[in-house]
Amino acid sequence: MSMNPIRRFFQQESAGGILLIIAALIALVMINTQALSGMYNGLL
């Protein structure tokens, strides 16, 4: 029985690091985009 691809991803050791990099990239885009910077500051 094959595992769900999402479960298989989260069982890898690198999954946490990959998610952290993605979250940091999203935060950088949000703070540097004028339309989204207000939303970013609201989240803080």
- Report the SS3 class of residue 16: helix
pTM: 0.64
Q: Percent of the chain beyond pLDDT 90?
A: 23
| Mean of pLDDT values over 32-43 | 78
| Mean of pLDDT values over 4-8 | 85
Give pLDDT, residue 25. 95
What phi and psi, each to the nearest 5 degrees, are found at residue 10? -70, -15
Give pLDDT, residue 24. 95
Angstrom distances, CA of residue 3 to CA of 19, 25, 27, 32: 20, 29, 31, 38
Give pLDDT, residue 15. 87
- Going by pLDDT thresholds of 50, 70 and 90, the confidence category of residue 33 is confident
